[in-house]
């Protein structure tokens, strides 16, 4: 059973977004190498964070030219599709700040190509796996994170860093980071907001529950793991 994550409670989705934005600003300021590599989460929760980063004071204060953005997962749709994580992030953040970002070619199914890009652009650790300065993740009500859904093949992947993963419950394929790439990260921050996440959060945090949720396996081997959770998601 995985040890329970370190929690930072926030009053509301807005305060969660602001606190994480402040933490991102601090992280960039404390990082002594360039680029600062950040893998973004998809879904609806991080949208407020991206909008907060795209507005003053963060738009003005963060040195965007030092940052390189990646995506931890993507749906198999074109970038202009309403389900696209890249499309959501482009509207909320990328259109407003001068930052380099690498969309995932999920619609093309080019997981090998994205893994090559990550290996080229993100410095590797001693084990040869790229080390992201920060990986942002969310959590689904079923305990999935990125596109690592319960019962799917990608959960067992220990060699590849980026794969296409069949998700039968959604009748789709998605591109996703695998656990080896997540485990190499310096920091993983999981963003959780909303009453609909209350049950899964409670089960993740309850030492009496042997929860085998993928999100509980998303932890750095040697880095920092923080769950930023709003009050609505905390029972």
Query: Where along the sequence are the contacts to ligand 6PG (CB under 6 A)?
Result: 41-45, 73, 85, 138-140, 144-147
Q: In what order do the strands lie in the sheet with 36-40?
A: 6-10, 224-230, 187-192, 134-137, 36-40, 67-71, 100-101
- State the minimum distance, in angstroms, from the CB of residue 136 to ligand 6PG: 9
* 42 versus 130: smaller Cβ distance to ligand 6PG: 42
- Closer to ligand 6PG by CB, 27 or 88: give it: 88
Which residue minimizes CB distance to ligand 6PG?
138
Task: Report the residue number, 147 or 178, with the smaller CB distance to ligand 6PG.
Answer: 147
CB of 190 to ligand 6PG, least distance (A): 9
* Number of C-beta neighbours around residue 156 at 10 A: 8
Query: Which residue is associated with the tokens 């709003």?
Result: 230
In the bound complex, what is the minimum distance in angstroms from residue 139's beta carbon to ligand 6PG? Answer: 6
Packing angle of the helix pair 13-30, 45-53 (nearest 10 deg): 60
Identity of the residue, 32 or 80, whose beta carbon is nearer to ligand 6PG in the bound complex: 80
CB–CB of 97/54 below 8 Å? yes
The least CB distance from residue 109 to ligand 6PG, in Å, is 16
**Which residue, 127 or 141, is less far from ligand 6PG as judged by CB?**
141
Q: Are 210 and 2 in contact (CB under 8 A)?
A: no
3-class state of residue 38 by DSSP: strand
Smallest gap from Cβ 154 to ligand 6PG, in A, equals 12
Shortest spacing between CB 71 and ligand 6PG, in angstroms = 8
The token pair that represents 179 in the structure block? 């656990």
The residue (of 73 and 115) whose beta carbon lies closer to ligand 6PG is: 73
5 DSSP 8-state letter: P
**In 10 A of CB 197, how many CB atoms?**
21
- Strand order of the sheet with strand 162-167? 73-75, 172-177, 162-167
Distance CA 117, CA 76 (A): 18
């Amino acid at each position: 059973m995985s040890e329970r994550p370190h929690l930072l409670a926030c009053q509301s989705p807005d305060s969660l977004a602001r606190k994480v934005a402040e933490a991102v600003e601090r992280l960039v300021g404390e990082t002594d190498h360039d680029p600062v590599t950040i893998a973004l989460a998809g879904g609806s929760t991080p949208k407020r964070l991206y909008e907060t980063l795209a507005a003053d004071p963060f738009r003005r204060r963060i040195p965007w030219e030092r940052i390189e953005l990646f995506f931890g997962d993507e749906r198999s749709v074109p970038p202009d599709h309403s389900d696209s994580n890249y499309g959501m992030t482009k509207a909320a953040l990328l259109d407003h700040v001068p930052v380099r970002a690498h969309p995932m070619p999920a619609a093309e199914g080019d997981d090998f190509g994205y893994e090559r890009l990550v290996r080229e652009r993100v410095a590797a650790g001693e084990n040869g796996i790229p080390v992201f300065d920060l990986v942002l993740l969310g959590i689904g009500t079923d305990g999935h994170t990125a596109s690592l859904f319960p019962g799917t093949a990608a959960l067992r992947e220990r060699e590849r860093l980026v794969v296409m993963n069949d998700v039968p419950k959604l009748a789709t394929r998605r591109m996703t980071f695998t656990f080896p790439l997540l485990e190499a990260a310096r920091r993983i921050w999981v963003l959780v907001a909303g009453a609909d996440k209350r049950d899964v959060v409670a089960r993740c945090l309850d030492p009496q529950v042997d929860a085998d949720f993928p999100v509980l396996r998303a932890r750095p081997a040697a880095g920092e793991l923080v769950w930023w959770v709003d009050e609505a998601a905390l029972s």
